[in-house]
Amino acid sequence: MVGRLLALAAALGCGHTEPFSAPPFDRDQPFDPTPPVRLTLNRGPDLQPAWLPDGSGILYSTQLLDVRGNDVCLARLPATGGSQRQLSCALTPNSINLTDALESAAPAADGRLAYIAATSGIGAVVPDAQSIVLGSVSDPATRQSLQSVPYTIPGGRLHQGVSQIRWLGPNRLVFLGEAVTVRKPCQFCPLDTLRSGLDAVWLNVDGTPVTLHAIAGTDYASGVSPGASEDEVYYTLNGDARVYRKQLSTGDVTVAHDFGPAGFARDVDVVGTRMAVVVGGRVAFTVDSSLGPTQWDSGGVTHVVNLQDGADMILAAPGLSRRPQLSPSGSAVVVEVYSLDTTGSAVGDLYSFGQP
């Protein structure tokens, strides 16, 4: 199923009739504190981490390989690691015959939670239904739909997927709209899902109906993050080593940082004066004859940049990294990490650097 890469620890069973479950222990420390700290140990992928706004915990998506549909659920960990505190799975009609996925969690300071909810037949490679929804951190499964996916932005470009959802102020979301292609790289290869960024987009959650707004100048974006205010975003572009800062009200754009020969920048996240970015690694940008401009990305190296003086710190992860997330204080980073084997393994785990 598209976008099934999300995050947590221990493989815990969760039936469709059990929206929440909890482990029998309340451990708030990782099993191995050696840095970088491995936070999750699930046999399935644990991906797309997001810090709670008060820094007390981490939400992520975790795929359950021990249930019939291999569902992807939202889970919560303590900020310091340890036992899973909450596991929330979708409840849909006839769900025993479906695969449900809750992904790209974006918690707000008032307890609301935006995320992507998708449903497909078991074994399907693309969702039958998918939308950006709004629920709450305490009860993610009770939700209202904000925007169905795929959708067409003003100007006519089709977005088949969404990722990197963040809050841009109290009633506005910003996210990355993507092209999604299911392909077979070779005659006997398994099907592979390719996601490549198209535009940074925002929408108001209190509008009826909501209205999509593509951010000008972000064609073929590979990452987007809120800045210091509702009027500021940071973004990266496919095939580009620079991170850009844009003021939405005036349209002014500056280069926040240029990684130069280190490689393409993507997956930007900004908190205060710190910026986390994935750079270089196993990534390529081409203009494909059938797909158009496309970025192929299996991960890279996480950099943390001080926006005041440009100091650049590289985080040494035990594999390729994607989607770093800075803690609200900016003192810790959680990242998806993938094996460095030759297959470009899609089974990710979460690792943390620093103290929240």
Q: What are phi and psi of 274, to 5 degrees?
A: -115, 145
Element (H, E) at 136: strand 129-136
31 pLDDT band (50/70/90 cuts)?
confident
The amino acid that residue 284 corresponds to is A
The confidence score (pLDDT) of residue 99 equals 86
Following DSSP, what letter does each residue of 271-333 receive, concatenated?
Answer: ETTEEEEEESSSEEEEEETTTEEEEEE--BEEEEEETTT--EEEE--SSEEEEEEE-TTSSEE
User: Could you give the CA distance from residue 209 to residue 25 in angstroms, rounded to a whole number?
Assistant: 44
pTM of the model: 0.89
DSSP code of residue 260: G
| Cβ–Cβ under 8 Å, residues 39 and 85 | no
Name the one residue in this structure whose structure tokens are 């064609």: 219
287 pLDDT band (50/70/90 cuts)?
very high
Following DSSP, what letter does each residue of 31-71 receive, concatenated?
Answer: S--SSSEE----SS-EEEEEE-TTSSEEEEEEE-TTSTT--
27 pLDDT band (50/70/90 cuts)?
low
- Tell me the mean pLDDT in the region 229-258: 98
275 pLDDT band (50/70/90 cuts)?
very high
| 172-228 confidence digits (pLDDT tens) | 999 999 999 988 777 777 777 899 999 999 999 987 788 899 999 999 999 999 999
Domain boundaries defined on the chain: 1-141+317-351
19 pLDDT band (50/70/90 cuts)?
very low
DSSP code of residue 270: E
| 215-242 confidence digits (pLDDT tens) | 999 999 999 999 999 999 999 999 999 9
| 104-118 confidence digits (pLDDT tens) | 999 999 999 999 999
User: Could you give the CA distance from residue 44 to residue 29 in angstroms, rounded to a whole number?
Assistant: 21
Does residue 271 surpass a pLDDT of 60?
Answer: yes
